[in-house]
Structure 1
Amino acid sequence: MIHSKENSEYYIWGNLCESWILKNTNKISIKQEKMPAGTSEKLHFHKVAEQFFYILKGEAVFFINEERFWVKQNESISIAPESKHLISNESAEEIEFLVISSPPADHDRIEVKE
């Protein structure tokens, strides 16, 4: 089956951020997500899941273990398990990206109290 935003499960998270689940098995999760300008997720980590983010549109800012990384369109970044991280859109434009988690991170997310 061919997957796209038009035929995939959809949900809203955070402050009007959007997610389309393109693939979800017990081994891997692939989501296409969109974040409006000025939005951010909460600092968290995953005990088991490794994550890979690929920026399709715009520029994202990642905070990983207290370091800051700017990832532009057509660039990617990997996040190892146990790494405290978040993605933020500090630009004036929306960003769009793929997030691939192995295994899926849905039940492996621990928020960090700030």
Structure 2
Amino acid sequence: MLKVNESDFEFRFGDHGPKYLLKGPNVDIGIVVLKPGQDFQNHYHTTCEEVFYILEGSIDYYINNQRVSVQQGDLIQCAPGDTHYLINQSNTNFKALFIKSPHIKERDVVEVENPIIE
């Protein structure tokens, strides 16, 4: 059994970006926050599936360079190899729970060029 609290962990970029609440042994779980105007580099995972459940706000995901607008209550599933880019073009904060499975010890992220936004 493990119990944690979100306030015990820090965001990667100070007050935004991802923060992991759990890393392994079978799954990784965390929170991602993007403020208005912020984005998160386009990337994909070679092995992991990643699921996002939107807790607050709205945002544009670009899944394999296709725009997908999401809002609170939506869920996005990215298979291994699906590129995903997030950009908050709204005027409110965005917050989502993310789950990556399976947990692997080595880095499973490949960064790629951001999509062209028209």
TM-score (structure 1 length as normaliser): 0.86
Q: How many residues align?
A: 112
Cα distance, 1:102 vs structure 2: 0.6
Root mean square deviation, CA, Å: 2.0
Q: Which runs of 5+ in 2 are unaligned?
A: none
Superposition map of 1:1-114 within 5 A: 1-7=2-8, 9-13=9-13, 16-104=15-103, 107-113=107-113
Q: Which runs of 5+ in 1 are unaligned?
A: none
CA distance in 1, matches of 2:29, 2:94: 17
1:17-60 deviation digits (Å, cap 9, x = unpaired): 24332211032100012111111111111111100000100012
Q: 1:85 to 1:11 in 2, by over 3 A?
A: same
8 Å CA contact 1:58, 1:93 repeated in 2? yes
8 Å CA contact 1:36, 1:94 repeated in 2? yes
8 Å CA contact 1:63, 1:69 repeated in 2? yes
8 Å CA contact 1:10, 1:18 repeated in 2? no
TM-score (structure 2 length as normaliser): 0.83
Cα distance, 1:103 vs structure 2: 2.1
Range moving further from structure 2, 54-63 or 25-34: 25-34
Amino acid at match of 2:62: F
8 Å CA contact 2:17, 2:40 repeated in 1? no
CA distance in 2, matches of 1:100, 1:58: 18
